[in-house]
Amino acid sequence: MKTQTQICPSPELLEKYAVSVPRYTSYPTAPEWKDTFTKDDFLTACENGNKNKSPISLYFHLPFCESQCYFCACNIVISKKRDVVEPYIKHIKKEIVRTSKLIGKNRIVEQVHLGGGTPTYFTPDEMKDFFSTVKENFSFSEHLEAGVEVDPRVTSFEHLKVLSELGFNRMSMGIQDFDSKVQEAVNRVQPYEQTKALFDRARELGFNSINVDLIYGLPYQSEESFKKTIEQIITLNPDRIALFHYAHLPNMVPHQGKYIDSSTLPASDEKIKIFCYALKTLTENGYVFIGLDHFAKPNDELAIARKNKTLHRNFQGYTTKSDCDLFGFGITSISNIQNTFSQNIKKINPYYESVEKDETPLFRGFVLNQDDILRKEVIMRILCHGEVNKKEIEKEFNINFDDYFAYEIDKLKEYEDEGLIDRANIRITPLGQLFLRNIASTFDYYLQETKRKNEREKVYSKSV
């Protein structure tokens, strides 16, 4: 069998499977969610979580950035004016207080994450003010996992000091690429020396897990140019690495089309060379390929969870907190409470109006039925474990796996013929690890139903 460092698909295989498929940070995926999801649905989910005494994960969306990174497709607000902060803090604090009253006091917060935007757009004092409300309204575990996303260009040593004092022990640092030509093309000039200084200071302050985000497929990238970035990343010695595929979707993300010349983007074969080089080099330097686009050191919780088959996936990517109810706060944030998904209003002013009315600022959501729950489990096991134990699924859901999924198993023959999967045992091969999204999509009822009806398919990023 091929080892991780030997995997690289043929151009023909790449061309065949480099198609638009979901990333499966949820199932059903967000485009399937409905605006008919109500506040009663949200309240029922909270009550069920209270009955089950499920632990809690908290996500806070802090959307502001000083400048636009041209590759970015996140829901952000660009502003150099500091007066946008005060009203946002006021309203997210009000949402925190209101929602906390729906949650049983005996439920413990195991995980906190600050995302954006750029959370360190907020000053250290603003961060302390905001987070004091969080601490006042929730009970934290003694073993709290508290993470924050940082942009080294706007993050000071004082930011790190305050975050450490507030209990943050994990950090995710956006880098993307250290090549100056690539950085200029995407409007994110970030020297290695600046990044390393912040990295070293975070280590001194006791951040015990640091992740870096990289992107392949950006303008002017090549295998040769990306080699130096990988070499520099290895010298930084992060605990985790996320190597995302750039999704160029100018029709959905207008600023991408406005600022990024598609002729400067690397071709598909060059992109896969970049990824294969990174895969080979990172694994040779001690990182474990978790799956999709994540790498971790062997002693990292993600790598251990992958080995023990306790890995989970949510809107922040891979995680070990599979039993938590996720509550999201702020514009566009997502909650996953019991068997429901819900998303907050996306625009700031409507969000403010809803919060002022003392309402849950819902935009859309979804209540999973039994088939959704079953398929979600199968899809997540493919993405997180690289295999599906049929007997475990049969016992948990009281089904005959081969009968229930006869259509899907027949569809998997195509992947088996390409050497991507052992169909009898639903076990992904090393080569198949590069096409997890494609394989998982076989079990996506909504995606397959669209294809069966020959309806217009929703737009997702390409799998590779």
List, for residues 106-155, the tens digit of each pLDDT value: 999 999 999 999 999 999 999 999 999 999 999 999 999 999 999 999 99
pLDDT of residue 93: 97
Tokens of 131: 């987070």
Tokens of 219: 């303008």
Please list the residues that pair with 172 across neighbouring strands. Answer: 149, 211
pLDDT of residue 1: 36
State the residue for tokens 């917060």. Answer: 109
pLDDT of residue 456: 62
Q: Rounded to the nearest 5 degrees, what angle is found at the Cα of 323, between the Cα atoms of 394 and 294? A: 90
Peptide bond between residue 286 and the one before it cis (omega within 30 degrees of 0): no
Phi, psi of 257 (to 5 degrees): -65, -30
Please list the residues that pair with 173 across neighbouring strands. Answer: 150, 212
Phi, psi of 160 (to 5 degrees): -65, -40
DSSP3 helix / strand / coil % (the chain, rounded to 5): 45, 20, 35
pTM of the model: 0.93
pLDDT of residue 65: 94
Q: Which long-range contacts (CB under 8 A, 24 or more apart) does 254-259 make?
A: 255/68, 255/70, 256/70, 256/71, 256/73, 259/68, 259/70, 259/187
pLDDT of residue 453: 67
For the chain, which residues score pLDDT lower than 70?
1-7, 453-464
pLDDT of residue 455: 61
The CATH superfamily of 32-329 is tm_1862 like domain (3.80.30.20)
pLDDT of residue 4: 44
Instruction: Give the span between the Cα atoms of 56 and 336, in whole angstroms.
Output: 10
Q: Rounded to the nearest 5 degrees, what angle is found at the Cα of 348, between the Cα atoms of 24 and 86? A: 120
Top CATH class, 1-28+370-464: mainly alpha
Sign, CA dihedral 265-461-433-210, equals: positive
Q: In sequence order, what are the residues at sequence separation of 6 or more whose Cβ sits closer than 8 angstroms to the Cβ of residue 100?
A: 137, 138
State the chain's maximal CA–CA distance in angstroms.
60
Instruction: Give the span between the Cα atoms of 351 and 359, in whole angstroms.
Output: 10
> DSSP secondary-structure letter at 294?
E
As annotated, the residues of the chain forming the CATH 1.10.10.920 domain(s) are 1-28+370-464
Please list the residues that pair with 176 across neighbouring strands. Answer: 214
- What radius of gyration, in Å, describes the C-alpha atoms of the chain? 22
Instruction: Give the span between the Cα atoms of 247 and 452, in whole angstroms.
Output: 26
pLDDT of residue 3: 43
As annotated, the residues of the chain forming the CATH 3.80.30.20 domain(s) are 32-329
